[in-house]
Amino acid sequence: MSPPRSPCGSRTAVAASVGGVPVWVEEVDAREDRLRGSRLASSLPRRGTSEGRQLRRWLTQLLVTERLVAAEAAARGLTADGAPSEDELLPDTTTRLEIGSIAGSVLADPLARALFVHVTAAVDITDAQVREYFERNPRRFGSTAQIADHLRGAVRRRAFRLWLDARCAELVELAPGYEHPGDPRQPDNTHRH
C-alpha cells in the first residue's frame, strides 16, 4: 500500500501501524472531521487543546482496532453472516462500560461481532459459578438460565477485551503524539493517582 500524497505531493505522516501496515494521519484527520461534522460536534473538545489531542489519540485507537479486527477476521475466514446483534453482546450501559469504549465501539460492526463469537466460543461458566451467584444474589434473576446467560456474557466480554488488548499490544505501533490516551508518558494524560 503506497502512502497517500498531500496536495503538495509530499507523503503524509504515519499515526500508527497494525502488523506493519500504516494508519495515516490523514485517516485520523478524516475520522475527526467526520465526527466534528456530526450531531456530536458541540460536545467535542476544541482542536489543538489537550482534550482535542486526547480525542485524536482515542480516534487513533479506534482506527487501529478496527484495522486489527478486520485483519483477524479475514485471517480466520469469518464473515458477518449470522453475527449476533450489538444488543445481544452489549445489552445495556453496564456491559458497554465493562468492555471499554474502544471494544464497545468496534462491536458496532457485525464482522467484529462475528470475531467476538469466534474468539470466545470456548469460554463458558460452570454450574458451581451459577449456584454461587444465585446464593449471593437470590432475587436478582428469575431463573438459573438467566444467571447463566448473564455470567457467560460477562466472562466472554472480558475474554474478548483481554484478547483484543493482547493482539493490539503485539501488532500495533503508535507514533509519537498518537499514544494511547491513558499512557502516563504522553503529555496530555491527566489521570493521576
pLDDT(1) > 70? no
C-alpha torsion 74→76→80→82, nearest 10: 170
Radius of gyration of the chain (CA): 19
**Rounded distance between C-alpha atoms, residue 82 and residue 6, angstroms:** 40
Q: What is the pLDDT of residue 125?
A: 96
Q: 155: part of which helix (H) or strand (E)?
A: helix 144-171
| Partners of 174 in the β-ladder | 16
DSSP 11: B
pLDDT of residue 19: 96
Residue 193 has pLDDT above 80, yes or no: no
CATH of domain 14-174: 1.10.4030.10
DSSP code of residue 14: E
pTM greater than 0.75 (yes/no): yes
Distance CA 155, CA 116 (A): 12
Per-residue pLDDT tens for 75-119? 999 999 999 999 999 999 999 999 999 999 999 999 999 999 999
Label residue 189 by pLDDT band (50, 70, 90): confident
Residue 5 has pLDDT above 70, yes or no: no
Rounded to a whole number of angstroms, the distance between the first and last alpha carbons of the chain is 42
pLDDT of 47 above 90: yes
191 three-class SS: coil
Residue 43 to residue 176: CA distance in whole angstroms? 26
Q: What are the helix (H) ranges across 7-143?
A: 25-36, 50-75, 86-89, 93-99, 101-106, 110-120, 127-136
Out of 13-17, 29-33, 46-50, least confident range? 46-50
Q: Residue written as cell 446467560?
A: 149
User: Which pLDDT score is estimated for 191?
Assistant: 56
Cell of 21: 501496515
Q: Would you state the cell numbers that stand for residue 34, as one nine-digit string?
A: 467526520
